[in-house]
């Protein structure tokens, strides 16, 4: 199995149109019998793509995929509780001697923020892990920090129990729980990931569990991957380090001719097996010549 990355570099004003066009061309090139999932950057983009892509394509956000995974695990549907960790923070703060309402408010705000970062970065809620997050993200700390440091671990443990026993699940739980419960999404033949460079470590962890070939649609070429800003990132499909099983190219989506180029890439990715290097020695020179003659690619290479 292999992975292919499309780095689209259009102007910001035309970016959404180009992205949709690129997705449609990739999907059109994939055999209709193969299962394809498109993971959109947000719910608005998911709705827009769902309306424009063939009905056989599963379109969702990564959070929604996490909800599907948890629904299958629990054997029942559920609704997200946006105030779950607000209430858990309040409950645990009741056991502390807080000076006034301002300190209570500051403590609750800090707990909610640190819980959020712990979940999306998959950082262990140890004192050293929390202090590293504070330093890295510049999180403002209340004056009673020493009293608060033990609480995130307890809150997350209770948050897990409430999810598995009472189906009380927060938004960040949709990404965090599949990791801590070691849950596996349903396999797809192809997974196309919108704005892959912006995924958090928790999102990456869930996506990487999908047994599939992956096509990644990245945004502006000058954007930095979010996982470069998280601590001890997991192996990343958006890593800037060369991946021996990854074929990369930046395409200027303003060129209509890139349709046939995308089709060629899909063919290559579908053929990726143990003999991939031998296949590339035959196929890539033809594509390289075509790229240079048409000026389609601003950068290309193979890992």
Q: Is residue 278 very low, low, confident or very high in pLDDT (cuts 50, 70, 90)?
A: low
- What the chain holds in terms of domains, given with CATH numbers, is 3-74+181-302 (3.40.50), 84-168 (no CATH)
Of 180, 223, 220, give the one whose Cα is nearest residue 202: 180
Strands (E), 41-197: 58-61, 190-194
d(Cα 29, Cα 54) in Å, to the nearest integer?
A: 12
Tens digits of residue pLDDT in 18-70: 667 777 777 777 888 888 888 888 899 899 889 988 888 899 999 999 999 99
d(Cα 239, Cα 248) in Å, to the nearest integer?
A: 12
**Helices 62-74 and 173-180 sit at what angle, rounded to 10 degrees?**
50
Of 301, 268, 261, 263, give the one whose Cα is nearest residue 283: 268
Strands (E), the chain: 3-8, 36-40, 58-61, 190-194, 213-218, 246-251, 297-302
In the DSSP assignment, the letter for residue 55 is T
Tens digits of residue pLDDT in 209-264: 876 655 555 554 444 333 333 333 333 333 344 444 444 444 444 344 444 545 55
d(Cα 5, Cα 246) in Å, to the nearest integer?
A: 8
Q: Is residue 10 very low, low, confident or very high in pLDDT (cuts 50, 70, 90)?
A: very low
pTM over 0.85: no
What pLDDT is recorded for position 218? 53
Of the segments 88-97, 119-128, 290-299, which one has the largest average pLDDT value? 119-128
């Amino acid at each position: 199995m292999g992975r292919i990355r499309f780095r689209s570099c259009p102007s910001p004003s035309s970016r959404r149109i180009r992205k949709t066009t690129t997705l449609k061309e990739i999907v059109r090139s994939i055999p209709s019998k193969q299962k394809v999932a498109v993971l959109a950057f947000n719910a608005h983009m998911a709705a827009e793509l769902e309306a424009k892509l063939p009905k056989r394509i599963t379109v969702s956000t990564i959070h929604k995929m996490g909800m599907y995974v948890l629904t299958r695990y629990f054997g029942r549907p559920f609704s997200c509780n946006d105030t779950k960790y607000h209430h858990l923070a309040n409950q645990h703060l009741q056991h502390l001697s807080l000076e006034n309402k301002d300190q209570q408010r500051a403590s609750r705000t800090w707990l909610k923020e640190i819980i959020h970062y712990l979940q999306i970065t998959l950082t262990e809620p140890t004192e050293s892990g929390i202090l590293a997050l504070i330093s890295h993200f510049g999180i403002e700390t209340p004056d009673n920090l020493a009293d608060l440091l033990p609480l995130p671990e307890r809150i997350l443990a209770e948050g897990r129990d409430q999810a598995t026993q009472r189906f009380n699940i927060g938004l960040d739980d949709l990404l965090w729980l599949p990791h801590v419960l070691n849950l596996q999404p349903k396999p797809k033949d192809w997974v196309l990931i919108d704005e892959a460079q912006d995924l958090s470590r928790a999102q990456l962890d869930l996506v990487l569990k999908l047994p599939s070939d992956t096509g990644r649609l990245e945004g502006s070429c000058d954007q930095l991957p979010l996982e470069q800003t998280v601590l001890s990132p997991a192996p990343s499909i958006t890593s800037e380090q060369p991946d021996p099983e990854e074929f990369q190219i930046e395409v200027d989506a303003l060129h209509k001719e890139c349709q046939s180029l995308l089709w060629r890439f899909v063919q290559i990715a579908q053929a990726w097996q143990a003999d991939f290097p031998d296949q590339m020695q035959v196929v890539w020179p033809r594509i390289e010549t075509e790229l240079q003659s048409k000026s389609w690619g601003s950068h290309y290479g193979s890992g």
